[in-house]
Chains A and B, each alone.
Chain A
Amino acid sequence: MSKRIDVKDLNVYYSKFLAVEDVNINIEARSVTAFIGPSGCGKSTFLRTLNRMHEVIPGARVEGEVLLDGDNLYDSAVDPVSVRGQIGMVFQRPNPFPTMSIRDNVLAGVKLNNRRISKSDADSLVEKSLQGANLWNEVKDRLGRPGSGLSGGQQQRLCIARAIAVSPQVILMDEPCSALDPISTLAIEDLINELKSEYTVVIVTHNMQQAARVSDKTAFFNIAGTGKPGKLIEYGDTTTIFNKPAVQATEDYVSGRFG
C-alpha cells in the first residue's frame, strides 16, 4: 500500500477564476508532506484536486495531470469515485456520520466497496482501524454508541480510522487539528507519524511547529494579491524550508515576518 503522487502543470479554476496556477510537485510514497501558506493561497483547493473532491464544487475544474504511481487521475476513463476510494481525505471539522454508531462509522467506507463482510472480519477491521487511529482504548466499550457523542479530538481520530479502514494509498488532511485542543492535536500528530510507515500523507496546516514536527517535506504556497492565483513557491525537505529556504518569501513566512 501507499503510492506516490506526481503533479504536472496543474491549474485549478473556479468557473473563470484561476485559483491555483501551474503547480508541479512530486510527493514520495510513505512520507508526510505539509502544505503551508497564507489564507486564500489555494492549499485546500489544490489538496482537493488530489482526489478529485473539487468536482463536488460547482464550476471547479482543473487543467494538467495528477499521477498516482504513474496513472493519471484525470484520464477521461477514470471514475472519481474509484479515485476517492484510493485517496482518502480528513477534513478540517470532524465529520463522523451522526446517525451511525462508532462501529458503523468505521465500516462506512468498507461497506461501500464490498457489501458482504463477515461479522468477525468486520470486528477485526474495526479494532485494527481504531487501534491505527489511537482511539481503540477510549471507545472499545461503546462501539454501538453514536459517533457524535465523542469529543472533537476523538471524533477527528474516528474520521481518521474511517479513512484508513478502506486501506487507501494516500491520506489527505486539510487542517485536521485546527478545531482541536493542544492535547488532541499532539495525539493526531503522533498518529500521523505512525501512519507514514504505511501511507502517503499530505497535510495542510497553518501551524508552523506542526509542519516542522510531522512532515518530511514542506511545500510553501503563496499568493501575489487578492484575485491573483496561488502558486507553489518552494518545495523541499522540511528542515531546509524552515532553516535555509531558497526564496525570500518563504523565509519571511516561516519566520513570521509575513505581510
Chain B
Amino acid sequence: MTGPAPGQVTAPEIDRLEGKDVSTNSLKASTDRGRAGDKIFSGISLAAGVLILAVLFSVAVFLLVQAAPTFVADPAEVTGGNGFTAYILPIVIGTVVAATIALLIATPVGIAVALFISHYAPRRFSRAFGYVIDLLAAIPSVIYGAWGYIVLAPQLAKVYTWLAENLGWIPFFTGPASQTGKTMLTAGIVLAVMVIPIITSLSREIFLQTPNLHEEAALAMGATRWEMVRMAVLPFARPGIISATMLGLGRALGETMAVALVLSPGALVASLVKSGNQTIAAEIALNFPEAFGLRLNELIAAGLVLFVITLIVNMIARFIITRHQEFSGAN
C-alpha cells in the first residue's frame, strides 16, 4: 500500500480544512445488518420476561385475595374449630416429614446411582442405564401412586408390624402398625422412588461435566477412583447436586396424587408406621372438589403456605450455593 506522497494534500484533508464532517473512522460506518434481529430478539425476551412476571404476580394476588378470608374468619368456623394455625400446622409438619423422608432416601441413592453411571459402569452399559433412568423420571405420578398402593404398601405392612413390635419404643415406630401399609413412611418411600430419577438424571449430567483436567490431577497424584471422585467430582458438582435435590424436593412437596393414594390421612401422629398424618398437597386435592365458601378459602390459604415453604427452601438452597461461590472455580 502506498500512501499519498509527502506534501501532497489528500481529498479528505481538504474537506477537513473546509470544516466538513469527514471522520475517516471506518468503524463508524453503519452496520444495519443484524440490527433488526437484535431488536426483535430483545423485544421478544423483554415481552417474555414481563409476561412471566405478570403471571407470577396474578397468581400471588389470587392466592392472597382468596386466602385472606381464612385469616380474619372466626376461629370456630375454620375446619377443626381452632383457627387456621391449628388447622394448617399438622399438615405443614406432615408435608415436611414426607419430603424429608423422601430426600433422606433419594439424595444418597440418587447420587450413588449417578456416580455409578458416570464413573464406574462400563461405557455401553452406562448409556443404556442412563436412558432407563431418564424414562423413570418421566413416569406420571399416578402410576407411582398406584404401584405404591397395590405393590409396595402391602409388602411394607409386614415390615411395619415387625418394626412396631421390636422397635416400638422409638416414637417413629410406635404401634399398632397399619395393616394396609398406607402410612407416612410409605408415602415418603414412594416419593423417594419418584425423586430418585430426577436427582440421578441431573447429577449424572453434572458428574459427566467434571473437567478431565481435575480428574487427571487427582489420579496423577495417586488417588484411587473413589478418592478422585471425592476430590474432583463431588466438589465440582456440589452446586448442581444441591439444585438437583431442590428440584426433587419441589416434586416431593407438591406431589398430590401419589400421596393421596398411599396415605390414609388422619390427625398428626409421631409414628410413621400408623395411619394418620396428611400433606398439604394431598389435603387440597382430596377436599377441593366439594369445597365452597370458607372451606375453599382455607384450602387456598393452605396452597399459599405450601408456596411459601417452597420459596423458603429455594432461598436456603441459593444461599448454600452462593456461600461457596468463591471456591467454585468460576473465577
Contacts and interface: CB of A to CB of B under 8 A. Distances in A.
Do A and B truly interact? yes
Interface of A: 51, 53, 56, 58, 81-86, 88-89, 91, 93, 95-101, 108-109, 112-113, 146, 148-149, 159, 162-163, 166
Contacts of A159: 217
Interface string B221-257: 1111001000110011010000000000000000000
A163 B215 CA distance: 15
30 contacts: A53-B216, A53-B220, A81-B224, A82-B222, A84-B219, A84-B223, A86-B222, A89-B220, A89-B221, A91-B213, A91-B216, A95-B214, A95-B217, A97-B214, A97-B217, A98-B214, A98-B328, A98-B329, A99-B327, A99-B328, A99-B329, A112-B221, A112-B222, A113-B222, A146-B331, A159-B217, A162-B217, A162-B221, A163-B221, A166-B222
A97 B326 contact: no
Interface in B306-331: 324, 326-329, 331
B123 interface: yes
Contacts of B235: 97-100
A166 to B, nearest CB: 6
B213 A166 contact: no
Given A84-B222, A88-B221, A89-B220, 16 more contacts: A53-B216, A81-B223, A84-B223, A85-B222, A86-B222, A97-B214, A97-B218, A100-B327, A101-B327, A108-B218, A108-B231, A112-B221, A112-B222, A146-B327, A148-B329, A159-B217
Interface residues of B, number: 26
A81 B328 contact: no
A53 B219 contact: yes
B216 to A, nearest CB: 6
Contacts of B223: 81, 84, 112
Contacts of B215: 56
A149 B331 contact: yes
- Which of B211, B213, B215, B238: most chain A CB closer than 10 A? B213
A81 B216 contact: no
Interface string B181-225: 000000000000000000000000000000101111111111110
A51 B220 contact: yes
Contacts of A149: 331
A93 B220 contact: no
A82 B224 CA distance: 9
A81 B329 CA distance: 26
A118 to B, nearest CB: 21
Interface string B69-85: 00000000000000000
Contacts of A166: 221-222
A100 B235 CA distance: 9
Contacts of B218: 97, 108
A88 B238 CA distance: 28
Nearest to B213: A95
Nearest to B238: A99
B140 to A, nearest CB: 38
Interface string B104-147: 00000000000000000001000000000000000000000000
Contacts of A51: 220
A167 B214 CA distance: 20
B220 A84 contact: yes
Contacts of B211: 95
Contact of A97 (B224, B231, B324): B231
B275 to A, nearest CB: 46
Given A81-B224, A148-B331, A162-B221, A58 B123 contact: yes
B271 to A, nearest CB: 41
B220 to A, nearest CB: 4
Contacts of A88: 220-221
Given A53-B216, A98-B236, A108 B328 contact: no
Among all A-B residue pairs, the 4 with the closest Cβ atoms:
A98-B329, A85-B222, A99-B235, A109-B221
A213 B326 CA distance: 38
- Which of A51, A91, A99, A108: most chain B CB closer than 10 A? A99
- Which of B215, B222, B223, B326: most chain A CB closer than 10 A? B222
A97 B221 contact: no
Given A95-B216, A112-B227, A84 B221 contact: yes
A81 B211 CA distance: 20
A58 B124 CA distance: 12
Contact of A109 (B222, B236, B328, B329): B222
B224 to A, nearest CB: 5
B45 to A, nearest CB: 31
A34 to B, nearest CB: 20
Contacts of A109: 221-222
Contacts of B227: 112
B329 to A, nearest CB: 3
B218 to A, nearest CB: 8
Nearest to B235: A99
A89 B224 CA distance: 16
A53 B217 CA distance: 10
Contacts of B222: 81-86, 109, 112-113, 166
A56 B219 contact: yes
Contacts of A100: 235, 327
A74 B110 CA distance: 37
